[in-house]
Amino acid sequence: MKIVTIVGARPQFVKTATVSKQLREHKIQEVMIHTGQHFDDNMSQLFFNELDILKPKYNLNINNLPHGALTGRMLEQIENILLVEKPDWVIIYGDTDSTLAGALAAKKLNIKLAHIEAGLRSHNEKMAEETNRIVADRISDLLFCPTITAANNLLREGVSESKIIVCGDVMKDSVLHFMPKMQKPAVVLPEKYAVCTIHRAENINNKNSLLNILLALDELCSTIDVVCPLHPHTKNIISKFNIETDKLKIKFIEPVGYLEMLYLLHNSSLVLTDSGGLQKEAFMLGKFCITLRNETEWVELVDNGCNVLVGDDPKKIIGCSIDNIGKIIDLNSKLYGNGDASKMIVQKLKEYIQQ
């Protein structure tokens, strides 16, 4: 039995950690392809090292290109690798360009395809991620959904119920597994702080949106310190727009690894982010989340009062943040399963491989 796993971005590194562990325990051979979509060492290699993830057999180093060129080059190289490896299944995660390229390569070669974190919808078709996830879901043979909501999305789109498996969220598996190993970042942290990340194209490619968010965070610093690990691309855009961060009260720090991010989240009083993954991690660690977007694929967090959508509106960012500092989230909620998603995924894959 052989499975090829395709990853390329931070959330996928985190998600594959517990699934790969289960594959090893079931003695299923896994070959990993890293597309190189996240090319900064702190955003890539660090995660493989600290999470003890299988070293990629192939590292394509494809990055820093427009979406079409990025996806095309990945598709070409992944297809060549699949022709050599001849796997029984290909596993893809989430909604990145790496996900889409992997899905297309597998489908064109008639290799069975499993999509982990299937069925999510933000209903914002301007997001590249929305296109990626819709196409990947449409052509996958098994769809592992983190929630009932995700499964219902697929059923409404006409996907056969026989392909859909509600397994819970592998990110919950990772949070539970790695929390005891969390590490304090090598920076001086305020006693009480909010943690914030910004990287979405709609927030950083528009100067007005980026300024709205940064100036709102700066004002929020009058109430609570804000610690912001700065994504490399966001840092470059800030520099391009000549935004003088040294005049802001925000505490910008270098990108952190997963274990350090767990520490930052665990010890924070509030989370602000435009990241889908961080919205869930905040919830899993009992933190209220201010989402710097106008929509989210994780609708159950909003429906259950754990998350509020504020976009780039400064008044909403400041007001909602102040209202929810230190708000406690019910950790007994089972929105994302029991922490055994990886085990269920591998058991189901093994059943299908043996058929």
Q: How far is CA 113 from CA 30, 338, 345, in A?
A: 14, 25, 13
- Contact yes or no for 227/189 (Cβ under 8 A): yes
| N residues, the chain | 355
Has 67 been annotated as catalytic? Answer: no
Active-site option among 26, 177, 199, 233:
199
Please give the positions annotated as active site. Answer: 199
